[in-house]
Structure 1
């Protein structure tokens, strides 16, 4: 008698959650393929723009992680997990990290702007913040000068 109860409960779980799990697996597989194609297109667009290698790598990783997080939230929503709490946690974590790294993020944003708009390039002679020299290397956080 006890075994029949467990078998009935097992069938109920399979009937109720089986289609959701199968749909989540299908969304995970199809979504993974779509994310790969979107990243390839994004990388090709950055190559056409002629962005710096370090900037391309960073932006590609950033977009890739963002798309993967969205895919995970969609899969969890398909299974029946409430995703609003995850979105709130991600927003709170983003705010906390942004406030903690405020100075570093300003330098980071400046480095990205230099790489995108290219006001100077390697080999140019510049003067900045009382220092003058020839640009040796441009990175996201620093620009190295040969004085």
Structure 2
């Protein structure tokens, strides 16, 4: 075909609608992108205000911001592509299959991830508090998305999966400002319990760390094998719990000895029977 015979005007006239459609789609896609970007930024700022209002942990706030931002931008890109006429069904199917495969491969990690979010939101414990969980008693050093780090009193660091923490009992020893100190004391049979109780209470009154309300108390709890068992109970600030226990156990012992109240040691009476008759002792 001779180049001079090509109808450029006809070709342009036929191509013009397609060009206009393409330009329109691109323009709409650009508008959708910038509007969507503004909506994402507005949403994230609103969520940050909600997080700040409810005192959500900073590490959780940062993670949720990154996660939501990535998710919203993926959705925005799919919407933009759909606006331009691109079939996004295949992309969604691929993303769904990939998500399912990842979920199956990381079941344990996902459980820890969900547990970490629950712990950071509901805060059953905080950094620096003493907890007892999963056979470990110690101070919380770090709370991450997947694991919580606890330092026990032997200075060993224990890493506990958040999934296990979120689905089992946790004893928080620090959440309350005061704690009850309980000491077990045994005295010899025949001891005057009223006198013993008075001596112990007078000893406790000398310790300023012991709270007056609730008042200290001494209870007779058991007829032991070798002693009359008493339970000594008093209240102190949580930080003073063990110092009060250790100091007063020693002080109570000294006070009982000063008042001639016997603290017995384990004893056994052995009776030897001789069915064949008691042997003669020579010499």
Fold shared per TM-score above 0.5:
yes
Deviation of 1:123 (Å): 2.0
Counterparts of 1:44 and 1:10, CA distance in 2? 51
- Structure 2: 5+ residue runs without aligned partners? 153-283
Do structure 1's residue 58 and structure 2's residue 63 form an aligned pair? yes
Q: Please give the per-residue CA displacement for 1:17-65, whole angstroms capped at 9, x wherever unaligned.
A: 1111111111111111111111111111111111111100111111111
4+ residue runs over 6 A deviation? none
Deviation of 1:11 (Å): 2.9
- Structure 1: 5+ residue runs without aligned partners? none
Q: Please give the per-residue CA displacement for 1:108-144, whole angstroms capped at 9, x wherever unaligned.
A: 1111111111111122211121111111221112211
Deviation of 1:99 (Å): 0.8
Do structure 1's residue 129 and structure 2's residue 155 form an aligned pair? no
Deviation of 1:16 (Å): 2.5
Describe the SS at the equivalent of 2:124: coil
The 5 Å alignment of 1:25-104 reads 25-104=30-109
Counterparts of 1:102 and 1:115, CA distance in 2? 20
Structure holding more strand per residue: 2
Relative contact order higher in (CA < 8 Å, ≥ 6 apart): 1
Do structure 1's residue 16 and structure 2's residue 28 form an aligned pair? no
Do structure 1's residue 108 and structure 2's residue 113 form an aligned pair? yes
Kindly tell me the number of residue pairs found equivalent between the two proteins.
147
Deviation of 1:8 (Å): 5.1
Counterparts of 1:96 and 1:66, CA distance in 2? 18
Structure holding more helix per residue: 1
Counterparts of 1:78 and 1:31, CA distance in 2? 13
CA-based RMSD: 1.8
Describe the SS at the equivalent of 1:140: coil
Whichever of the two has the greater Rg, that structure is 2
Structure 1 pair 11/105, CA: closer, same or farther in 2 (3 Å)? same
Counterparts of 1:104 and 1:2, CA distance in 2? 66
Counterparts of 1:108 and 1:29, CA distance in 2? 33
Counterparts of 2:73 and 2:79, CA distance in 1? 10
Per the normalisation by structure 2, the TM-score is 0.49
